[in-house]
Amino acid sequence: MTAQVIDGKAFAARVRAQVGEHVGRLKAEHGLVPGLAVVLVGEDPASQVYVRSKGKQTVEVGMKSVEHRLEVDTSEADLLALIEALNADASIHGILVQLPLPKHLNEELVIGSIDPAKDVDGFHISNVGLLGTGQKSMVPCTPLGCLMMLRDHHGSLSGMDAVVIGRSNIVGKPMAQLLLGDSCTVTIAHSRTKDLADVVRRADIVVAAVGRPEMVPGDWIKPGATVIDVGINRVPNGEKTRLVGDVDYDSCAAVAGAITPVPGGVGPMTIACLLANTLTACCRANGLPEPEGLTA
Ligand code: GUN
């Protein structure tokens, strides 16, 4: 079998188009413009690239984009004061503090200071708890993007065996909660899991989110399974480098029923879902119906 390739780039473009249409209606019918504030502390080059991309795409779907670039030695008090001001600003519906933060800043404290209703990353413990108890929450963008692709490919996920490899707070754990919410039988595997190959072989859905280049070989994949590769790993390639996922693409694609490529799979969905979450936050803040198909 050769797997169907799930085109995340095209999917993300569709999500952005849907968000853009909805934003147009909010403006026309209610005079509302969703606003997203991104806070970047320091000058980490990768973070700067992400932040620029987020700002550009936010404007492209018709939303207001605000960027706060703070010096690397910004005090915790100053950062918390900025977040407090953004919490109180009615024109801002989503707040994202780019991670990682410089070492002198307490990430948990900073994330905990964001109004949960504006926490478009879904990292606040209130949102983590709401997701874990099956209540309406803000859902982390990368797992939300994976869920959208899985629902699009399969329709219902009910009763499917899903294995999530990786137990991070940002991807692995919320991904498992979302799959459970869609009635999958979910296993979370990690670096201490015994017989990982056997665990993965049972799965109809494999979500790989460990950050280890090409660690899942094709002979771990059940024939016909769907493979969602969250990994983005830069590896040497002659004089240059190239991006690879957490699964060995060629051998997995030869066995799987469907697979996301790297690049062009999960990656583009993350910012698309950030825009979707900002739209959702704006609708909720104004007591309006949420956009269909863009939430968990
Ligand atoms: N750094 C890398 N990815 C992310 C993300 O999705 N959200 C935040 N806040 N920081 C990140």
Domains, in order of start, for the chain: 31-118 (3.40.50.10860), 141-268 (3.40.50.720)
Angle at CA of residue 232, ends 227 and 236, nearest 5°: 120
Residue 79 has pLDDT above 80, yes or no: yes
121 is known as an active-site residue: yes
Question: Percent of the chain scored above 70 by pLDDT?
Answer: 100
CA 151/CA 6 separation, integer angstroms: 12
What is the per-residue pLDDT for 206? 99
79: which residues sit within 8 A by CB, 6+ positions away? 39, 41, 70, 97, 105, 110
What is the per-residue pLDDT for 1? 72
Contact 219, 250 (CB under 8 A): no
Alpha carbon nearest to ligand 1 atom 1, residue? 99
Q: Annotated catalytic residue: which of 18, 54, 115, 222?
A: 54
Alpha carbon nearest to ligand 1 atom 2, residue? 99
64 is known as an active-site residue: no
Q: How far is the CA of 1 from the centre of ligand 1 (A)?
A: 36
Mean per-residue pLDDT over the chain, rounded: 98
240 is known as an active-site residue: no
CA 10/CA 282 separation, integer angstroms: 25
Question: Percent of the chain scored above 90 by pLDDT?
Answer: 100
CA 70/CA 82 separation, integer angstroms: 10
What are 37's strand-pairing partners? 66, 95
pTM of the model: 0.97
Q: Closest ligand 1 atom, CA of 140? A: 6
What is the tens place of the pLDDT at every residue in 100-130?
Answer: 999 999 999 999 999 999 999 999 999 999 9
Closest Cα partner for 8 from 240, 270, 285, 275?
A: 270
DSSP assignment of 6-67 equals --HHHHHHHHHHHHHHHHHHHHHHH----EEEEEEES--HHHHHHHHHHHHHHHHTT-EEEE
Q: How far is the CA of 27 from the centre of ligand 1 (A)?
A: 28
Alpha carbon nearest to ligand 1 atom 3, residue? 99
Q: How far is the CA of 165 from the centre of ligand 1 (A)?
A: 19
What is the tens place of the pLDDT at every residue in 228-250?
Answer: 999 999 999 999 999 999 999 99
